[in-house]
Amino acid sequence: MPQSPSSLRSKLPFVLGALLILFLSSHAITSWILDYHWWAEMGHVDTWLRMWFYQSVPWLVQWLFLAAVIWIAHARGMKHAGTGLREYPLYAKLATLVSFVLALVLSASGVDGWTIARYVGSRAANVPGEWQDPVFGHSLSFYFFDLPLFTEAAVYAVVCFAAGALVYYATARAWQLKQRFPELWERGQVSFEDLKRLGRLETGVLRVLIALILVALAVEFWLGRYSMLFSDHGELMVGIDYVQQNIGLPLQTAKAIAALVAAALVLIGQRKLAMACAVVVLVDIVVPPLVSSFHVRPNELALERPYIQRHIEATRDAYGIDHRARDIAFAAHKEAPIDFAANKVMLDNVRLWDWQAFHDTLSQSQPLRPYAYADTDVDRYQIDGQMRQVLLAPREIDLTQLGAARERWVISNTIYTHGYGLALGEANRITASGSPELLIRNAPVEVKAPGLKVTRPEIYFGEASHSPVFVHTTQPEFNYPSGSDDVTTQYDGKGGFPISSMPLRLAAAMALGDWNIVLSDAFTADSRMMIRRSVRERLQELAPFVMWEGDPYMVIADDGRLMWIVDGYTTSESHPYARSLTTQGKQFNYIRNSVKATIDAYQGTAKMYVWDAEDPIISAYQGLFPGLFEPASAMPADVRTHTRSPEFLFRTQAEIYRTYHMRNPESFYNRADLWDLATSSGAQGSTPSVVDPTYLIAQLPGETKPEFLLTIPFTPRNKQNLIGLMVARCDGEHLGELVFLQLPKQEILPGPLQIEALINQNPVISKDLTLWGQQGSHVLQGQIQVLPIGNTFLFVAPIYIQAAQARMPQLEKIVLASGNELIYANNYPEALAELEARQKGQRPAVATQEAAEKTDQSGKPAVSTPAPNGVDPRIETIRSHLERYRTLVAQGKWSDAGKELEAVQTLVGR
């Protein structure tokens, strides 16, 4: 039968309400639809559902439980007053609604879903970790997973039972007043005397609720013993100290027992005795400060020594500076000679190009509109069978170069969809004009390095990628310009997800607020939509519990694919006794480089590899998301060779090590041997700043061959001479190992800032720098490289000149410093040969001006003309040496080239 108009009218409000709710939630629903398709593209729908479950279900259960407690307390309060909810149907509905709303507000104090999930995951992983606290004997897993869960659960219990007690009391009193004294209820004003006329509220329900509150507080007091292990005592230490060990712990236990006794007394109606138990809290407030002031402070070092020792060792463990780490007493001497032959490979790989200068040069020497070089990374590749240090810069799309055209939807979303190719140059190869010599360049891609190839130069997923874009449409995609025309392409990969269906396009349009997705006729049956194309955003969505490195770097696989590698960290604030750091807005006192991820720049495929299986945090997440991570051994070998110790972790460890290299409690207490990170100004008149960690190829003391390393030097507090060098190894099985070169305190070795001072004070160098700065140019001084070599250090300082109108630095001069020698030359081979000659005593340490006068404009040593009565027989020999020199320089074999130049200089000097 058709429904009557009155029936339809009665249902109309519900229909309109449902439509309003649907409209208000449309954005969330359509975003959920896009999320599903993105997670399906990544192959991790199961991970997505698990994340939703871990976040939502625990919160839902806690909300419903708290609402039930409040509702039952309210109902029991009315019953105590002699009435019930059934007598007031409308009031009952409102009371139920208020109970749920109040529970929703209070549930913010509940146990976080991730806390519960991590606890469950830790039980599945069962990786306790080696470190155990010296007070209670618990492993890190207890403090990372168990303690947070128990603490949050105790707080939640207090909130639940306190809310129940307050609601019960308020409800009972209010309805008592309404039932017994209606005139007071109607008056709307109730005083304390009016409540006293109602008598004491001594019911079993209230006693039980108060007793439960006290039991929950007893649990909090008991767990509070563990929180003492995180007490911050300023510069002295973090963790439990003498007073807490001997006074605080017993008092904390006494407070827990007193709370349990008070709960029992409340149950039997002894309120005054229960309140008397609070005297323990007063003792806890008064006694420890008195003991600290009158007993500990006068004898602080003697009493706190074992606790300081615990703090030092725990902090070193928390930041991994004693995990796969070793200290080496490096008996360096300022004037020790360099064995140039034994260190040939290292000297041939000295980085002459500062990454910033290289990046700026590319913008001018390899411009490709509308692409930009977002970043430059340092890496190493096997070229001609030798490990060579390179600088690599990917080209990514830069829509700002299109001007107003970028506002057109078709252009920004379907035509300019990707970056293209990269520039790669050896870090030590320079053209005759002082520019980088590129081994990969141009568009289409030209590869000049044997053993390297680029088969998929298009970069659809990168550091600076905009979203969304649509591929395989009717619009050809721009690849690169070629003369007056453009070379186009069409995406042929599996990245993105199909977007041809109208319902999905409608959902995308609503989620993104972009109706062009529906109105455009550019879509085909094979069209795909790409979202979250930024490398970090992609990984952050896949694994939000991992802290991702801010600087992804690109590598070239053996098959020519371009891949991104991103380092991921697990962090915590819950390592007992460890000092906290705040970096990039995040505070932590434990960090591990537990994950390394790869993303295919063309396909967008992301894989995450567990790099530290001993880390309890990543082990717990492996238990929660079994399909998300792979073991480190699963990473392809050609990509694995480019993994490295990450810079963020290295900076963090260096910041800790400068204080915590002091392992003796007395030295730590007195701050007698504090270090600073070395500083550098970078240019004349600039304010010194902390040097950046430097990737380089060098040979560690005791090792037989050079390797790819990350280094940073230290100086004593408020001084500028070298005192130590921290090194992270990056190759093969040594990846992640730390080496600390401890320098002799009796030997004064110059630091980077002192070398800069020597350079800037040198009259010839200073004159050149000043002259260049006055000719419309800008002088750039690259960061000084500190190279341990033999039993001494070699300092390398490149100097660049950049025109004021265009940022295109050119390498103009090289400064080498070792011992008392300061070499200022036009190029690196010449400087190296000069340094070797001086150290061998083959050439006196002449003034820099005199040395400079012996070179012509090309930087080659001046050769005297033959005598007029005949041809000098040395000419052919010199010519042969010079020819060999040019060949070796082109190949980047600086050490051999220097020997040829030295031979020429020897012949000329005869």
Task: Check whether 197 has a pLDDT greater than 60.
Answer: no
Query: CA–CA separation, 812 vs 43, rounded Å?
Result: 52
Quick one: which of 774, 892, 907 has its CA closest to 389? Answer: 892
Residue 654: the pLDDT is 96
Task: Check whether 744 has a pLDDT greater than 60.
Answer: yes
Q: What is residue 268's DSSP assignment?
A: T
* pLDDT tens readout for residues 279-293: 999 998 999 999 999
Q: Residue range 480-485: average pLDDT?
A: 84
DSSP output for 156-178: HHHHHHHHHHHHHHHHHHHHHHH
Quick one: which of 612, 545, 599 has its CA closest to 47? Answer: 545
Query: CA–CA separation, 38 vs 36, rounded Å?
Result: 5
Maximum average pLDDT range among 249-263, 825-839, 863-877: 249-263
Query: CA–CA separation, 78 vs 203, rounded Å?
Result: 13
590: Cβ contacts below 8 Å, ≥ 6 apart: 140, 318, 319, 571, 572, 573, 574, 575, 578
Q: What is the mean pLDDT of the chain?
A: 86
Q: Express as a percent the part of the chain with pLDDT over 70.
A: 86
* pLDDT tens readout for residues 307-354: 999 999 999 999 999 889 999 999 888 888 888 888 888 888 888 988
Query: CA–CA separation, 259 vs 269, rounded Å?
Result: 15
Residue 364: the pLDDT is 82
Say if residue 468 is preceded by a cis peptide, omega within 30 of 0.
Answer: yes
Task: Check whether 804 has a pLDDT greater than 80.
Answer: no
Quick one: which of 393, 401, 399 has its CA closest to 416? Answer: 399
Task: Check whether 883 has a pLDDT greater than 60.
Answer: yes
Q: Residue range 550-563: average pLDDT?
A: 94
SS3 call for 593: strand
Residue 760: the pLDDT is 86
**Neighbour-count burial of 390, counting CB atoms closer than 10 A to its CB (0-12 exposed, 13-18 middle, 19+ buried):** buried
Query: CA–CA separation, 759 vs 781, rounded Å?
Result: 10
Q: How confident is the model at residue 766 (pLDDT cuts 50, 70, 90)?
A: confident
Which has more pLDDT, 173 or 893? Answer: 173
Amino acid type, 710: L
Task: Check whether 468 has a pLDDT greater than 70.
Answer: yes
Query: CA–CA separation, 578 vs 574, rounded Å?
Result: 8
Q: Residue range 441-446: average pLDDT?
A: 91
Query: CA–CA separation, 817 vs 758, rounded Å?
Result: 9
Tell how far CA 248 is from the center of its chain: 37
From start to end of 431-484, where are the E strands?
436-441, 446-447, 458-459, 469-471, 477-482
Q: How confident is the model at residue 840 (pLDDT cuts 50, 70, 90)?
A: confident
Q: How confident is the model at residue 24 (pLDDT cuts 50, 70, 90)?
A: low
Torsion of CA 88, 90, 92, 93, to 10 degrees: 170
Per-residue burial over 155-170, b if 16 or more Cβ lie within 10 Å, else e, is: bbbbbbbbbbbebbbe
Q: Residue range 685-710: average pLDDT?
A: 87
Q: Residue range 610-629: average pLDDT?
A: 93
Task: Check whether 859 has a pLDDT greater than 60.
Answer: no
554: Cβ contacts below 8 Å, ≥ 6 apart: 377, 392, 394, 422, 562, 563, 564, 565, 601
Evaluate whether 207 touches 248 at the Cβ level (below 8 Å): no
Q: Which of 103-117, 172-186, 629-643, 786-800 has the lowest mean pLDDT?
A: 172-186
Query: CA–CA separation, 396 vs 359, rounded Å?
Result: 13
Quick one: which of 222, 214, 117 has its CA closest to 157? Answer: 214
Residue 877: the pLDDT is 66
Tell me the H-state helices in 228-320.
242-243, 249-267, 271-276, 279-291, 300-318
Q: Could you give the angle at the alpha carbon of 748 between the alpha carbons of 744 and 751, nearest 5°?
A: 105
Task: Check whether 467 has a pLDDT greater than 70.
Answer: yes
Residue 573: the pLDDT is 95
Amino acid type, 787: L
Q: How confident is the model at residue 893 (pLDDT cuts 50, 70, 90)?
A: low
Residue 861: the pLDDT is 36
Which has more pLDDT, 860 or 210? Answer: 210
* pLDDT tens readout for residues 397-422: 999 888 888 889 999 999 999 999 99
Q: How confident is the model at residue 608 (pLDDT cuts 50, 70, 90)?
A: very high
Residue 16: the pLDDT is 64
Q: How confident is the model at residue 851 (pLDDT cuts 50, 70, 90)?
A: very low
